[in-house]
């Protein structure tokens, strides 16, 4: 039985880009369980752009990460000890375990997930990113066959699912991603109809060519000039599922220029956060899990090895260095 628990604490707030020195690795004892509690050993830690927002003092939709406490983060892990009748040793538990090897929970906020699929999938295509894609496409865009769906950060954990679900609905799926390697992956591996590289000098022309019939739905993960390019090509009664503005996580302002298009095209824009809609998660996870099991929903993972690598991998994620869902493998 392990008694030592490595943890990453947030020890300072970034001024501009995140640095490794914002975090500190510490080692604590694994606490003894009280009645009703379980001990979970983390297998995989999820790294996500939203964590950057939590590192700031500024008011976001959630409280900021407290200093000198364990960084928050989604995890999938195995119950290694249980004093809670709802949980047995060996159960697989998805929850917000944080950047550490072990955590104790009273069971609230933990979801039991079935064995059979790769464990890490519950942090990606069948986890928060997948459900985010499912929600935005189904509940906001309501994409219909024949429509054009544009998704930014198309090779990422959310974007890759958006495009594949759109294809299954009979839509034209157009991705926007950074660099030829990501764009090739989006088209060749994930089956998007097209992908425009926003780092290319002629991005605007490439994007225009990729949406010959205009844009009916934008699933926006990035914000900024990429978002504007999509707004400029919007069709009447278009929809925007505003999911993220990762381009602004460096702290700079984010603005859009094509406000006129929102009016003249009578666009519906809805900002959303998938945890507001927990009642839909079981349905979404069931559908997404079925698609993964049937080989109809592909995903790629970037896996950093060992809890020690978490800050470095997180900084890489913010720079767009990952391809697919960014994970940290904490234990085998």
List the structure tokens of 91: 């159960």
Q: Torsion over CA of 200, 204, 207 and 208, rounded to 10 degrees?
A: -150
Q: Does 241 engage in binding with a second copy (CB under 8 A)? A: no
**Residues 58-97 as x/- pattern, contact with a second copy by CB under 8 A:** --xx------------------------------------
Q: Please, what is the minimum distance in Å from the beta carbon of residue 2 to a second copy?
A: 38
Q: Please, what is the minimum distance in Å from the beta carbon of residue 15 to a second copy?
A: 18
Q: Torsion over CA of 227, 229, 233 and 234, rounded to 10 degrees?
A: 10
For residues 51 and 314, the answer to whether their CB atoms sit within 8 Å is yes
Size of the site for a second copy (CB under 8 A): 31
- Out of 12, 34, 270, 283, point to the residue binding a second copy (CB under 8 A): 270
- Out of 12, 264, 283, 305, point to the residue binding a second copy (CB under 8 A): 264
Q: Please, what is the minimum distance in Å from the beta carbon of residue 53 to a second copy?
A: 8
Q: Does 1 engage in binding with a second copy (CB under 8 A)? A: no
For residues 147 and 170, the answer to whether their CB atoms sit within 8 Å is no
Q: Please, what is the minimum distance in Å from the beta carbon of residue 263 to a second copy?
A: 4
Q: Does 260 engage in binding with a second copy (CB under 8 A)? A: yes
Characterise 170 by phi-psi region: left (phi > 0), alpha (psi -120 to 50), beta (else).
left
List the structure tokens of 266: 């009578």
Q: Please, what is the minimum distance in Å from the beta carbon of residue 269 to a second copy?
A: 4
Q: Does 269 engage in binding with a second copy (CB under 8 A)? A: yes
Cross-strand bridge partners of residue 8:
25
Distance in angstroms (rounded) separating the CA atoms of residues 257 and 110:
42
Nearer to a second copy, 118 or 214 (CB): 214
Q: Which of residues 40-59 bind a second copy (CB under 8 A)?
A: 53
Q: Does 105 engage in binding with a second copy (CB under 8 A)? A: no
Nearer to a second copy, 72 or 183 (CB): 72
Q: Please, what is the minimum distance in Å from the beta carbon of residue 54 to a second copy?
A: 12
Phi, psi (deg, nearest 5) at residue 19: -125, 155
How many CB atoms are located within 10 Å of the residue 53 CB? 18
**Residues 171-210 as x/- pattern, contact with a second copy by CB under 8 A:** ----------------------------------------
List the structure tokens of 203: 């991005």
Nearer to a second copy, 78 or 228 (CB): 228
Distance in angstroms (rounded) separating the CA atoms of residues 241 and 190:
21
DSSP 222-245: S-THHHHHHHHTEEEEEEEEE---
Distance in angstroms (rounded) separating the CA atoms of residues 194 and 184:
9
User: Contact residues for a second copy (CB under 8 A)?
Assistant: 53, 60-61, 223, 227, 236, 242-245, 248, 253-257, 259-260, 262-273, 276
């Amino acid at each position: 039985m392990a008694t030592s628990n490595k943890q990453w604490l947030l020890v300072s707030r970034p001024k501009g880009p995140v640095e490794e020195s914002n975090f500190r690795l510490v080692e604590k004892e694994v606490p003894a369980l009280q009645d009703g509690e379980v001990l979970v050993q983390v297998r995989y830690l999820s790294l996500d752009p939203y964590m950057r927002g939590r590192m700031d003092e500024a008011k976001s939709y959630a409280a900021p990460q407290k200093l000198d406490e364990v960084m928050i983060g989604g995890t999938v892990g195995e119950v290694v000890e249980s004093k809670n009748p709802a949980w047995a040793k060996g159960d697989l538990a998805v929850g917000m375990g944080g950047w550490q090897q072990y955590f104790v929970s009273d069971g609230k906020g933990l979801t039991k997930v079935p064995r059979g699929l790769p464990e890490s999938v519950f942090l990606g295509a069948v986890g928060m990113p997948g459900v985010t894609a499912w929600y935005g496409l189904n509940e906001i865009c309501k994409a219909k066959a024949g429509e054009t769906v544009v998704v930014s950060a198309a090779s990422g954990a959310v974007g890759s699912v958006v495009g594949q679900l759109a294809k299954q609905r009979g839509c034209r799926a157009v991705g926007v991603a950074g660099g030829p390697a990501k764009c090739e992956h989006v088209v060749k591996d994930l089956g998007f109809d097209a992908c425009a590289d926003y780092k290319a000098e002629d991005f605007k022309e490439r994007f225009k060519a990729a949406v010959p019939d205009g844009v009916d739905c934008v699933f926006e993960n990035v914000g900024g000039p990429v978002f504007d390019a999509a707004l400029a090509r919007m069709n009447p009664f278009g929809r925007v599922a505003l999911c993220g503005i990762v381009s602004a996580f460096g702290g700079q302002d984010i603005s859009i220029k094509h406000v006129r298009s929102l009016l003249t095209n009578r666009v519906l824009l809805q900002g959303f956060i998938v945890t507001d809609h927990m009642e839909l998660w079981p349905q979404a996870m069931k559908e997404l899990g079925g698609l993964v099991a049937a080989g109809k929903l592909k995903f790629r993972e970037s896996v950093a090895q060992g809890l020690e690598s978490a800050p470095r991998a997180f900084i890489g994620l913010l720079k767009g260095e990952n391809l697919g869902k960014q994970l940290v493998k904490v234990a085998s």
